[in-house]
Amino acid sequence: MSVAEKREITVAEARKLLMDKAEELDPLQRRVLEYTIRFSKLDSTSAGELTEKLMKEADIDRGLAVQMVNAMPETVPEIRTFLGRQRIIAEDTLNKILDIIDKYRVEE
């Protein structure tokens, strides 16, 4: 496998990329595939849509949006842990982020 493009992707998107090349994977890549299967919270299409929606509607950068999609936080305090001390965001924006994530949440 070679590098075609370099950008942050969700665990679900990584799973899809690895599944598409499953026959060609080396042992390390197979272990990564197993991890992505186990820990993906959404399908790759939904994960990509949610990432883009968070970037556009909540005005957060791609890396942060990917982290949130991977973890699917359930409360505003959980969202704050992703922000750390780097940004102060209004409570209504945090609630908006949570509402966007909730629309994509899959019942387990």
Q: Give residue 83's pLDDT.
A: 84
DSSP for residue 59: -
pLDDT value at position 3?
77
Rounded Cα gap, residues 101 and 28, in angstroms: 31
Per-residue pLDDT of the chain (108 residues; tens, 9 = 90+): 677 789 999 999 999 999 999 999 999 999 999 999 999 999 999 999 999 999 999 889 999 999 999 999 999 999 999 887 766 778 898 999 999 999 999 754
Q: Which domains does the chain have, with CATH numbers?
A: 44-104 (1.10.150)
pLDDT of residue 108: 47
Structure tokens, 39: 């820990």
Helix (H, G, I), strand (E, B) or coil at 41: coil
